[in-house]
């Protein structure tokens, strides 16, 4: 787990783009709620989110790591402090930018994440990733 909200976002993004579900799931709070673009992408709790997101990672990255990139990924890997709203116990971050799959422009997408602090570590308690249609 990460010690700051931006390091949690960065760790989640790094794990997502290479399909590392285990590292991604370390960033999730036990009571996480994850929403995606599709109706069935609505998972509550860490176990349900793990199952659903693992399937999403396998669908999105069938040929292995490195096929997701773009400005949204770059901004998630280097989240700017100005994009955060933060208190002592909660933080949220939101970005809208393009996503590239397999080296080709795919679509614009949005990622909004709410984080909570447990003792000294930050975890994602709510996340909504949506690919614009």
Inform me whether the pLDDT recorded for 1 exceeds 70.
no
Per the CB < 8 A criterion, the answer to whether 122 and 114 are in contact is: no
Neighbours of 30 (CB within 10 A): 11
Please state, in angstroms and rounded to a whole number, the distance separating the CA atoms of residues 86 and 92: 7
Q: Are strands 28-35 and 84-86 parallel, antiparallel or unpaired?
A: unpaired
- pLDDT for 77-97, tens place per residue? 887 655 677 788 999 988 888
The CATH number covering residue 81 comes to 3.10.450.50
Confidence of residue 128 (pLDDT cuts 50, 70, 90): very high
Q: Once rounded to an integer, what is the mean pLDDT over residues 107-126?
A: 90
pLDDT > 90 in the chain, percent? 20
pLDDT in tens, 10-51: 898 888 777 787 888 899 999 999 998 888 889 999 888 888
What's the burial of 32, exposed, middle or buried (CB within 10 Å: 0-12/13-18/19+)? Answer: buried
Would you state the pLDDT for residue 64?
59
Domain that holds residue 15: 5-131
Q: How many domains does the chain have?
A: 1
Distance CA 97, CA 93 (A): 13
What's the average model confidence in pLDDT over 64-84?
72
Listed in sequence order, the residues at least 6 apart from 43 whose beta carbon sits closer than 8 Å to its beta carbon are: 32, 33, 34, 35, 49, 51, 52, 53
């Amino acid at each position: 787990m990460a010690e700051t909200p931006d390091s949690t976002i960065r760790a989640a993004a790094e794990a997502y783009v290479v399909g590392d579900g285990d590292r991604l799931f370390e960033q999730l709070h036990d009571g996480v709620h994850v929403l995606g673009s599709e109706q069935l992408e609505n998972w509550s709790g860490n176990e349900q989110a793990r199952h659903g997101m693992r399937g999403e990672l396998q669908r999105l990255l069938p040929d292995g790591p490195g096929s997701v990139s773009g400005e949204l990924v770059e901004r998630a890997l280097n989240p700017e402090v100005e994009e955060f709203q933060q208190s002592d116990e909660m933080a949220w971050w939101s970005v809208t930018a393009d996503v590239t799959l397999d080296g080709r422009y795919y679509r614009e997408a949005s990622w909004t994440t709410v984080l909570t602090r447990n003792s000294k570590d930050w975890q994602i308690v709510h996340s909504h990733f949506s690919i614009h249609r």
